């Protein structure tokens, strides 16, 4: 669970850097997309990435089921410990929200681009898709809600993953928790900048 989570944390940064190219120019973004579509290493990494998502989702389901069966009757007194943050107590629910919106994201982009390659059709232009999808206010709102859930999920999951693999000393834990907050804030705000940029029409056609 921890290793697959850290793998996806790295992917979020790589995917973000690709998409931020769209804020610079259409040409740079289309060049980046072309590289992703034709590079052999990227093509190999796509099924690896998909496997990482599947492993993470399956592990979360198994852990949640084990937690439920281990204590089917809830305690009468709720644990008020500071360590039990809101995000830590709702990781599974947050994960479901992220997964649901991920399916929407696939319908908006992957199905109209990469999937069309497999079907032998002409894929949609990636930049034009950004313009069309984020020109609608409700899509922007949905993506911001999604990114909000992702923020809470990652802000806890980032440091918790390191804790699970043994980096839980009194020295390292506060540092990892701080780093997790910084990572979650920067990544979330950077992703949110993309729909806002296209909604307000800052791009050049």
Per-residue pLDDT, 81 = 46
Rounded CA-CA distance 205/197 in Å is: 13
Query: pLDDT digit string (tens) for 5-33?
Result: 888 888 899 899 999 999 999 999 999 98
The mean pLDDT value for 71-82 works out to 52
Dist. CA 53–CA 28, nearest whole Å: 28
**Using CA atoms, how far apart are residues 165 and 43, in angstroms rounded to an integer?**
30
Mean pLDDT on 55-78? 73
pLDDT in tens, 136-177: 999 999 999 999 999 999 998 888 888 777 777 778 888 888
pTM, to two decimals: 0.83
Mean pLDDT value across residues 72-100: 70
Secondary structure (H, E, C), 106-145: HHHCHHHCHHHHHHCCCCCCHHHHHHHHHCCHHHHHHHHH
CB within 8 Å of 157: residues ≥ 6 apart: 5, 9, 91, 180
Average confidence score pLDDT of the chain: 85
Give the pLDDT band of residue 68 (cuts 50, 70, 90): confident
> Which residue's structure tokens are 């999808």?
133
- What is the mean pLDDT of the segment spanning 89-94? 85
What are the domain boundaries of the chain? 2-70+89-199
């Amino acid at each position: 669970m921890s290793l697959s989570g850290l793998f996806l944390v790295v992917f979020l940064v790589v995917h973000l850097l690709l998409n931020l190219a769209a804020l610079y120019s259409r040409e740079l973004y289309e060049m980046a997309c072309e590289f992703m579509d034709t590079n052999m290493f990227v093509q190999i990494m796509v099924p690896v990435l998909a496997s990482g998502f599947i492993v993470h989702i399956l592990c979360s389901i198994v852990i949640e089921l084990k937690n439920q069966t281990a204590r089917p009757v809830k305690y009468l007194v709720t644990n008020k410990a500071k360590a039990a943050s809101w995000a830590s107590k709702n990781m599974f629910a947050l994960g479901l929200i992220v997964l649901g919106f991920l399916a929407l994201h696939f319908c908006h982009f992957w199905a109209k681009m990469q999937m069309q390659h497999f079907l032998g059709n002409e894929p949609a232009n990636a930049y034009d898709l950004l313009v069309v999808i984020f020109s609608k206010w409700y899509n922007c709102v949905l993506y911001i809600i999604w990114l909000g859930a992702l923020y809470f999920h990652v802000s806890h999951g980032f440091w918790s993953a390191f804790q699970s693999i043994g980096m839980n000393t009194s020295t390292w834990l506060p540092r990892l928790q701080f780093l997790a907050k910084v990572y979650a804030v920067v990544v979330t705000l950077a992703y949110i900048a993309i729909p806002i940029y296209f909604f307000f029409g800052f791009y050049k056609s």
